[in-house]
């Protein structure tokens, strides 16, 4: 498999979306106290970074 910059950014976006959803899920279902808000905020940060990587995919 040939990897170029766009392929690497695509995989990074996919992994970051998975981690973001996992962290948000942990915040909702596992930690119902104040720690859940932290997990949710970090999960949203991962999704925001994935959005940036996705928008950079065709430009780099």
Q: What is the pTM of this model?
A: 0.82
Q: Tens digits of per-residue pLDDT, 8-47?
A: 888 889 999 999 999 999 999 988 888 899 999 999 999 9
Q: Given this model, what pLDDT does residue 6 score?
A: 82
Task: Give the residue from 46, 27, 44, 25 showing the smallest Cα distance to 36.
Answer: 27
Task: Give the residue from 5, 10, 23, 7 showing the smallest Cα distance to 54.
Answer: 10
| Separation of alpha carbons 4 and 20, rounded Å | 24
Residues sharing a CB contact under 8 Å with residue 12, sequence separation 6 or more, in sequence order: 50, 53
């Amino acid at each position: 498999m040939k990897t170029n910059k766009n392929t690497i950014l695509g995989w990074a976006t996919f992994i970051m979306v998975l981690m973001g959803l996992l962290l948000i899920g942990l915040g909702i279902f596992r930690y119902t106290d104040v720690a859940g808000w932290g997990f949710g905020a970090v999960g949203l940060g991962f999704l925001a970074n994935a959005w940036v990587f996705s928008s950079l995919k065709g430009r780099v």
